[in-house]
Each structure stands twice: as C-alpha cells, then as structure tokens.
Amino acid sequence: MVVKVMLLLAMVAGAGIAAYGLFLDKSGQAIAFATAGLFVLGVALLISGFIAGMSAVSNGRAGRGGWATLLALIGGVFMIAAAGALAGAVVFAVVVLF
C-alpha cells in the first residue's frame, strides 16, 4: 500500500514539474525541468504498469477474470503513457545536449 501511494505521489510530482517546465518557466532551465519531470513521471508509470500487470496475472489465476481484465487494461494504459513520457524526456534531453 505504501509503494502505491509513493508511486502516485511520484506521478503527481513528475507531472507537476513537467507542466511547470513546459508552461510556466520562462528561464533557460525550462527544458531541464520538463525533462526531469517527464523522466520521473515515466518511471513511476512504468513501475505502476508492472505492478498492475502482475496483479492481473494473480487475479486471473485466482478465477477473477473480470477484475484481471480491468487490471490488465489499466496496466497497459500505464505502460503506453510511460513510453510516451520517457520518449518525451529523451527528445528534450537530445535538444539540451545538441
């Protein structure tokens, strides 16, 4: 339970930092804030997707097919969002480096 709360906190913090870097910051550090926020958000979503996937498998083995399907769908959405956030972080990092 504590891990899930900490992952939710990391998602909110990462999204907040990325939004601050993208929309509010007018200094030269805007891309750095956006990159860091997207990276934290992507890692938190990735771990949450793995946890949801493992829960889906264990619920499916226990005979709760509907709940397992819902958890698999949520885990898949988390994984797709993680891929997008991490891809955005890589693109911003390349912009900063080159």
Report the distance separating Cα 16 and Cα 29, nearest Å: 15
Task: Name the pTM for this structure.
Answer: 0.91
Report the distance separating Cα 14 and Cα 38, nearest Å: 6
- Enumerate the H helices of the chain as residue ranges: 2-19, 30-61, 65-97
* Long-range contact set of residues 26-35: C-beta below 8 Å, sequence gap at least 24: 31/92, 31/95, 31/96, 32/96, 34/88, 34/92, 35/89, 35/92, 35/93, 35/96
pLDDT tens for residues 23-71? 998 888 889 999 999 999 999 999 999 999 999 999 999 999 999 999 9
> Tell me, what's the pLDDT at 28?
84
pLDDT tens for residues 69-96? 999 999 999 999 999 999 999 999 998 8
57: left (phi over 0), alpha (psi -120 to 50) or beta: alpha
Length of the chain: 98
Cα 53 from chain centroid (whole Å): 14
